[in-house]
Structure 1
Amino acid sequence: MNSEKKKIHFVDSSLINPTNPITINLIGAGGTGSQMLTTLARMNHALTELNHAGLSVRLWDDDVITEANLGRQLFAESEMGFHKSVALINRINRFFGTNWKAEKRKFEKDNLGKVQKNMQSVMYISCVDNVKSRFAIAEILDGLKESRGYYRNQSKYWMDFGNSQYSGQVLLSTIGDIKQPNSEKYETVANLPFVTEEFGELLKLSEAEDDTPSCSLAEALEKQDLFINSTLAQMGSSLLWSLFRNGLTENRGIFLNLKNFQSQPIKL
């Protein structure tokens, strides 16, 4: 008889019954980030209808909208030349009545190597398209691990999205240990490692991939399929929604292959 306990991560209680909206830094407003912002807005509306405090999102991206972004990313021809973060946040705020914020710059330390106050949040969701940015984010969040204290917006979780042309993954990490309740039924897991810790060598091997901007939609589709970003965003959002609704998870991510329509949960 197999008596091995199922591994479970219990979500930090501050996400389940928050006094104030949960602060989220969404990093990247491209193919996945633009889709993810919309799912977060829908999630916020649903949560507030369920008497939850909801979400407060700050979107980070220094890029501007070009013709190559139309169609695959959620931008219109009339928005060309605007910053992606500003165009998306303005649209979401008008549609959903939110007061979310846009940053027209990269999510990185200032010239003095310091993390600014508006870079601190309960959750971080990264939708970046290069390895260097992931390691830069990990470095910032590593520093926040060491400065954890009893204050509002204490950093708790990092959800990272990454993809190639037809495949991708979502991985949930904790920023430090999350206190777990005593359980006789489950083996509780307090720490979920960063993607840069667990798959760092694989990320470095893929560092040489071409990340030059595309000049047209046709050229962009040679790098990323039309629906890989939206499918990945929906699956990652479903994982995030389950954290809020169930308060626990046995999965910390998903591997997706859109070419053969297969998905595989990443167990704890």
Structure 2
Amino acid sequence: MDFYLPESLLNKPINIALIGAGGSGSQIATELFQMDSLLRSLSNGVVYLNLTIYDGDKVSLFNVGRQGFYLGDVGNFKAEVLTNRFNMFGQTQWQCRKEYFNPKNVASLANFDFLITAVDKAKFRVDLGEAFEAVKNTKSNLLWIDVGNGRNDGQLVLGHAFSAKNGQLKLPNIYDLYGSMLKNIDESAEDEPSCSTQQALEKQDFGVNRAVSAQATQLIWQLLRYGKISHHGSFIDVLLGTVQPLKIDPNQWAIYGYQTTPMES
């Protein structure tokens, strides 16, 4: 089964919100910058990316090397560093929000076309998923891509953020498929920040962010360049060198306890 790019997103600038500018987020922003250049060239400037980055964190010494930052960035806001870098050297007019996004403000995301969350906190995913579920009667077709990482593996899921509509099939998002599991995750041991590069790498090895980010941005590229995708997520293991796609298949979704519902008219 294929999912097709909504007609409302054809031949127009694409508005993307990126929440989290750390390991995966900084890599995703870099790849979106490259994608923006290609889309401008292919469309004679009609299609391009407008990115807004949300992150209230500052660059630390131990982010250098593991994330998309340099020694000269230490002490500055991650979101601001990235947007200034790309705006200075490209044709972009991207924006930053030097704050942690509050899931209670999901209504403010309705005007975006894509939301990418790169925050490795299960509670944040749950709060965001519940907030999306609570919004009724929105006309937004917002597509939510969530990325997450382990030490040597990661996953991403693309789905509709808000409730379904227009008589079409809703793509389940990360909360739709894994909400119950996310609610049972104990993150108390993960809350302490890493105080050395060695300790940080023990939590997440080199290259994991890049592998997951590449799969996430590839979904956006396939939709914008070719108009459709045949899978809406991936499971990546860098040690085994494997990428397992999450097919657009109601039977596969049923394994996770998600029952498909037609989109509301």
TM-score normalised to the size of structure 1?
0.85
1:206 aligns with 2:201: no
SS of residue in 2 equivalent to 1:207? coil
Map of 2:246 onto structure 1: 266
Which residue of the other structure, out of 26, 42, 48, is the alignment partner of 2:18?
26
SS of residue in 2 equivalent to 1:50? helix
Distance 2:92 2:26 in 1: 16
Which residue of the other structure, out of 210, 224, 230, is the alignment partner of 1:230?
210
Distance 1:115 1:202 in 2: 22
Map of 1:17 onto structure 2: 11
By how many angstroms is 1:156 displaced? 2.0
1:218 aligns with 2:198: yes
1:177 aligns with 2:134: no
By how many angstroms is 1:179 displaced? 4.5
Distance 1:232 1:160 in 2: 10
Residue identity matched to 1:36: I
The alpha-carbon distance between structure 1 residues 16 and 202, as it changes in their structure 2 partners (threshold 3 A), is same
Residue identity matched to 2:145: M
Map of 2:146 onto structure 1: 160
CA contact (8 A) 1:129 1:211 kept: no
Write the mapping of 1:184-195 to structure 2, written as runs, cut at 5 A: 190-195=169-174
Residue identity matched to 2:72: S
* 1:72-113, Cα deviation, whole Å (9 max, x unpaired): 00111111110110011101111212110000111115xxx5
Distance 1:251 1:118 in 2: 24
Q: Which runs of 5+ in 1 are unaligned?
A: 1-6, 181-188
CA contact (8 A) 1:29 1:59 kept: yes
The alpha-carbon distance between structure 1 residues 130 and 33, as it changes in their structure 2 partners (threshold 3 A), is same
TM-score normalised to the size of structure 2?
0.86
By how many angstroms is 1:213 displaced? 1.2
1:253 aligns with 2:233: yes
Map of 1:239 onto structure 2: 219
Map of 2:127 onto structure 1: 136
By how many angstroms is 1:140 displaced? 3.6
Map of 1:183 onto structure 2: none
The alpha-carbon distance between structure 1 residues 87 and 252, as it changes in their structure 2 partners (threshold 3 A), is same
Structure with more contact order per residue of length (Cα contacts < 8 Å, sep ≥ 6): 1
SS of residue in 1 equivalent to 2:225? helix
By how many angstroms is 1:212 displaced? 1.9
**Which range moves more in the overlay, 39-48 or 169-178?**
169-178
Write the mapping of 1:35-46 to structure 2, written as runs, cut at 5 A: 35-46=27-38
CA contact (8 A) 2:56 2:99 kept: yes
CA contact (8 A) 1:172 1:253 kept: yes
Which residue of the other structure, out of 118, 121, 126, is the alignment partner of 2:112?
121
Distance 1:114 1:218 in 2: 36
Map of 1:4 onto structure 2: none
